[in-house]
Amino acid sequence: MSRVDTVLLPELDGPVPATLPSTLGLLSLALGVGALVAPGPVARMTGVDDSPAARAVLPAVGLRELGSAAGLLSGARPAGWAWSRVAGDAIDLTLLGRALADRSGARRRRVALTTLAVAGITAIDVLAAVRIGRAGRARARVIRMEIAVTVNRSPAEAYRFWRDMENLPRFMAHLESVRADDLRRSHWIARGPAGRRVEWDAEIIDDKPNKSITWRSLPGAGVPNAGRVRFVPAPGDRGTEVRVELRYAPPAGALGRAVAKLFGEEPEQQVRDDLRRFKQVLEAGEVVRSEGSPNGISLRQQAMQRPAQPLPASRR
Amino acid sequence: MKATAWMGADSVKVIDVPDPKIMNARDAIVRISTTAICGSDLHLYHGYIPEMRKGDILGHEFMGEVVEVGPQVRNLKPGDRVVVPFPIACGHCSSCQRGLYSVCENSNPNAGIAEKIMGHSPAGIFGYSHLLGGYAGGQAEYARVPFADIGPVKVPDEITDDQAVMLADVFPTGYMGAEMCDIKPGQVIAVWGAGPVGLLAAASARLLGAERVIVIDRFPYRLRLAEEHIDAETINYEETDVLDTLNEMTAGRGPDACIDAVGLEGHHGNAAMYAYDRAKQVARVETERPFALRQAILACRSGGVVSVVGAYGGFVDKFPMGAFMNRSLVMRSGQCHVQRYTRPLLERIQRGEIDPSFIVSHRMPLRDAPKGYKIFQKKQDDCTKVLLKV
Ligand SMILES: NC(=O)c1ccc[n+]([C@@H]2O[C@H](COP(=O)([O-])OP(=O)(O)OC[C@H]3O[C@@H](n4cnc5c(N)ncnc54)[C@H](O)[C@@H]3O)[C@@H](O)[C@H]2O)c1
Ligand SMILES: [Zn+2]
Ligand SMILES: [Zn+2]
């Protein structure tokens, strides 16, 4: 596991959204080729073989489908191309609606069946487009960072402390608790604004004793996330370079806004502060507190310092 | 308890605040017996150090009796008489382990602010702005002392409060100023500033074997202390040209090392020069008035050392980089790594090699702190060092 970017998160990189565009692309390809190569049979099948106009329209429909297919199969802007299929479906439905009004008997039945089939495809296309769009937007929201701190302890000591996931809340300020279910799985609870809690399960997917730990959230996390920490001996016998990579995708909507608030405007600074606390706990044995910053290092507290006076009894 | 609080520029008040309590396992609570006002406090008093809040408790030089210890403090117990170093240092980071306590990597919970101004954060300091931690200071009846297993030093009975409290800051600071000069036999050391820090730097230069010590200031009563207690030569910069006089005294060589014990609020004999930097400082274009530093660089012998213990907070204008570079000067600097010096200097006092309390001019009760600040600021009543008795 060389980089956290290679850790797959089911919500973002899972198999369904990844292959959906190409499936739709292949469908467009088949329809497009059919309409261009065999307009006669297609016209008969759909019940419009009696109209000279249909003969002219079908190749145009075929070309449009080939365009969608090329777009979807290219992999670029999949959501846009998926919506182009929906737009095509809408045109087809309009044309079919007109054809239905003009016809009767067996032909009318064939046109009606075609309309039904196209309506079904439209529904699938809409669902797919929404889904592809959502995964794409989630990927666009993904926040990545790489932050490091030097700790005057051996890689083994730093690794040991981090590997016990239940220690994480001692230095990760937004965590309320982490419960290790077994050696691999854990349950995380984070504190949100206004007493809101965000919970998820995570698993360690790669564990190299005294060297690195890689973890990711399990499917169903409100905020899909993955992380990796490496413990590299610092040159000159100065302990360990603790290098952390994080990747997470805050959702849209209210939860997303809550998460954004949680991390403030400077998510990197928050993680940097977490690492400062990690260093304090490992080196000094405690999170360092002052009267102005009674909760220890914190970006928010730094901005709203209380006077450097002992705390009143009510705040202890 | 009663405590001296910063209420805005040129204003301190003794106010009632809650008693401190243990916040961490390595904390101790000290009932203060003697605390001092420092030249550094004047920089805060004048509002030159950023990130002060109304109500901040001042004071970083204090001593007293331990009344409570956290569970991790095993070297102290209630009843111990201790003096507390002014930098707050964890003792276990790389910097602390190399003896660089005033740049402890863990003790500033507001490191993020300091990094924006200074690149990296120095240690937290008692009562010295939120830039350096937001710690309540010791010009009060009680103080909470973090990392009490590392900092405070027990004081034997035969050492007086007035002597011991010098170990919290000014004696180690003056000593470090002299030590950074790397003094060799026969050398001439010049010291800018005859305040507590400058006087104790001059005295320490003597202890470290300087041949001649020259002290520069404009207050005759302070220069007299240098002559009488340290057997130093003196220059009153309002009466003579400092560079000419130093060249003459050293037959053109310049002092082997120059100590800046003035810092960011230097005063200049030339009214126009003073007005120039003062105006820039007021307009916040320049944060310091570095007259002594500029002069120390120009005066120093080629290849010599400029040792800066006077405090600076931000940016300096018209720094004579050409002289500094072309003449192979060395500059050493720092807030004092007090923890490194407390025990050896305590022993020097015990052996009678020096009594640093010769600088003390005033002793008054804590409630008179505002008056103490005023006379120290204005250098009234031959004031050199004010001790507050609690
Ligand atoms: N590095 C440290 O750890 C440390 C510790 C304590 C104090 N300090 C700093 O040391 C400095 C001195 O502290 P102090 O308590 O002695 O203060 P102080 O105000 O009593 O002394 C400063 C002296 O400098 C003199 N002075 C002003 N301009 C001068 C000039 N151009 N040339 C020569 N002398 C000049 C003043 O007349 C005064 O006597 C302050 O900047 C203080 O913040 C540093
Ligand atoms: Zn001081
Ligand atoms: Zn330290």
| CB proximity list for A175: less than 8 A, separation 6 or greater | A168, A169, A188, A189, A190, A191
**Residue A312 located in a structural domain:** no
Neighbouring C-beta atoms of residue A220, cutoff 10 Å = 11
| CB proximity list for A197: less than 8 A, separation 6 or greater | A176, A189, A190, A191
Q: How far is A312 from chain B (nearest CA, A)?
A: 6
Residue nearest (by alpha carbon) to ligand 1 atom 9: B310
pLDDT tens profile B140-199: 999 999 999 999 999 999 999 999 999 999 999 999 999 999 999 999 999 999 999 999
- How many distinct structural domains can be found in chain B? 2
Same domain as A234, residue A156: yes
- Closest to B6 in 3D by CA, of B136, B114, B131, B107: B136
pLDDT tens profile A147-185: 999 999 999 999 999 999 999 999 998 899 999 999 999
Whether the per-residue pLDDT at A17 is higher than 70: the answer is no
What mean pLDDT do residues A24-34 have? 83
How many A/B residue pairs have CB atoms within 8 Å?
131
Domain membership of residue A207 as a residue range: 143-306
Same domain as B67, residue B134: yes
- Closest to A172 in 3D by CA, of A159, A187, A188: A188
Same domain as B175, residue B164: no
Same domain as B254, residue B150: no
Nearest CA in chain B to A268: B112
Same domain as A154, residue A100: no
| CB proximity list for B70: less than 8 A, separation 6 or greater | B22, B24, B25, B26, B27, B28, B148
> CA-CA-CA-CA torsion for A61, A62, A68, A74, nearest 10 degrees?
-170
Instruction: Select the residue of A238, A273, A311 nearest B94 (Cβ to Cβ).
Output: A238
Same domain as A245, residue A258: yes
Question: Chain B window 73-112: which residues touch A at a Cβ cutoff of 8 Å?
Answer: 90-94, 97, 105-112
The residue behind tokens 């863990």 is: B106
Buried/exposed code over B257-275 (b: 16+ C-beta within 10 A; e: otherwise):
bbbbbbbbbbebeeeeeee
Instruction: Select the residue of B23, B57, B94 nearest A308 (Cβ to Cβ).
Output: B57
Same domain as B380, residue B290: no
Provide the residue type at B264 as one letter.
Answer: L
| Residue-by-residue DSSP string for B298-319 | HHSPTT-EEEE-S---S--SS-
Question: Which of A139, A167, A192 is the last residue in one of the domains?
Answer: A139
Whether the per-residue pLDDT at A46 is higher than 90: the answer is no
Question: Which of A111, A139, A167 is the last residue in one of the domains?
Answer: A139
3-state DSSP percent of chain A in helix, strand and coil, to 5: 55, 20, 25
Q: Provide the β-strand partners of residue A233.
A: A240
Q: Which two tokens stand for residue B252?
A: 């053109």
Whether the per-residue pLDDT at A18 is higher than 60: the answer is no
Same domain as B280, residue B298: yes
Same domain as B183, residue B275: yes
Same domain as A280, residue A244: yes
Query: Mapping DSSP to helix (H, G, I), strand (E, B) and coil, where does residue B207 land?
Result: helix
Angle at CA A201, nearest 5°, toward A195 and A204? 135
- The CATH number of residue A234's host domain is 3.30.530.20
At A14, the pLDDT band (50, 70, 90 cuts) reads low
Q: Quick check: CB of B129 below 6 Å from ligand 1?
A: no
Give this prediction's pTM.
0.84
Same domain as A13, residue A97: yes
Same domain as A158, residue A288: yes
- Closest to B168 in 3D by CA, of B350, B36, B313, B28: B36
Q: Provide the β-strand partners of residue A209.
A: none
**Residue A313 located in a structural domain:** no
Are A311 and B21 a contacting pair at CB < 8 A? yes
- The CATH number of residue B374's host domain is 3.90.180.10
Same domain as B219, residue B150: no
Q: Is B182 left (phi over 0), alpha (psi -120 to 50) or beta?
A: left
Question: Residue A265 has what pLDDT?
Answer: 58
Question: Which of B311, B333, B355 is the last residue in one of the domains?
Answer: B333
Same domain as A296, residue A177: yes
CB proximity B138 to A under 8 Å? no
Q: How far is B116 from chain A (nearest CA, A)?
A: 12
Q: Quick check: CB of B193 below 6 Å from ligand 1?
A: yes
In which order are the strands placed within the sheet that holds B305-308? B233-236, B212-217, B188-192, B257-260, B305-308, B330-333
Whether the per-residue pLDDT at A131 is higher than 80: the answer is no
More reliable by pLDDT, B274 or B68: B68
Same domain as B190, residue B141: no
Instruction: Select the residue of B20, B21, B24 nearest A286 (Cβ to Cβ).
Output: B24
Q: What is the radius of gyration, based on Cα positions, of chain A?
A: 29
Same domain as A214, residue A296: yes
Is residue B178 within a helix (H) or strand (E), and if so which, with residue range? helix B170-179
Same domain as B343, residue B326: no
Q: Quick check: CB of B336 below 6 Å from ligand 1?
A: yes
pLDDT tens profile A182-206: 999 999 998 876 777 889 999 999 9
Closest ligand 1 atom number to CA of residue B42: 19
Nearest ligand to the CA atom of B168: 2
- Closest to B215 in 3D by CA, of B252, B255, B248, B176: B255
Is residue B292 within a helix (H) or strand (E), and if so which, with residue range? helix B291-299
Answer whether B127's CB lies under 8 Å from B139's CB.
Answer: yes
More reliable by pLDDT, A288 or A84: A288
pLDDT tens profile B112-155: 889 988 999 999 999 999 999 999 999 999 999 999 999 999 99
* Pocket perturbation via mutation, ligand 1, pick of B38, B43, B102, B216 by most ligand atoms within 8 A of CB: B38
**Residue A315 located in a structural domain:** no
Domain membership of residue B11 as a residue range: 2-169+336-389
E strands present in B106-211: 124-125, 142-145, 153-154, 188-192
| CB proximity list for A106: less than 8 A, separation 6 or greater | none
- How many distinct structural domains can be found in chain A? 2
Same domain as B325, residue B343: no
Same domain as B369, residue B350: yes
Neighbouring C-beta atoms of residue A55, cutoff 10 Å = 13
Nearest ligand to the CA atom of B151: 3
pLDDT tens profile A82-112: 788 888 888 888 888 888 888 888 888 888 8
Question: Residue B146: its chain A contacts at CB < 8 A?
Answer: 288-290
Alpha carbons A24 and A30: distance in angstroms, whole number: 10
- Closest to B314 in 3D by CA, of B356, B281, B352: B281
The interface predicted TM-score of the complex, written ipTM, equals: 0.92
Same domain as B316, residue B190: yes
| Range with the poorest average pLDDT among A6-10, A41-45, B3-7 | A6-10
Same domain as A265, residue A147: yes
CB proximity B39 to A under 8 Å? no
Q: Residue B71 burial by CB count (10 A; 0-12/13-18/19+): exposed, middle or buried?
A: exposed
CB proximity B237 to A under 8 Å? no
Alpha carbons B278 and B270: distance in angstroms, whole number: 12
Q: How far is A293 from chain B (nearest CA, A)?
A: 7
Provide the residue type at A81 as one letter.
Answer: W
- The CATH number of residue B247's host domain is 3.40.50.720
* Pocket perturbation via mutation, ligand 1, pick of B129, B197, B378 by most ligand atoms within 8 A of CB: B197
Q: At B227, phi and psi to the nearest 5?
A: -70, -45
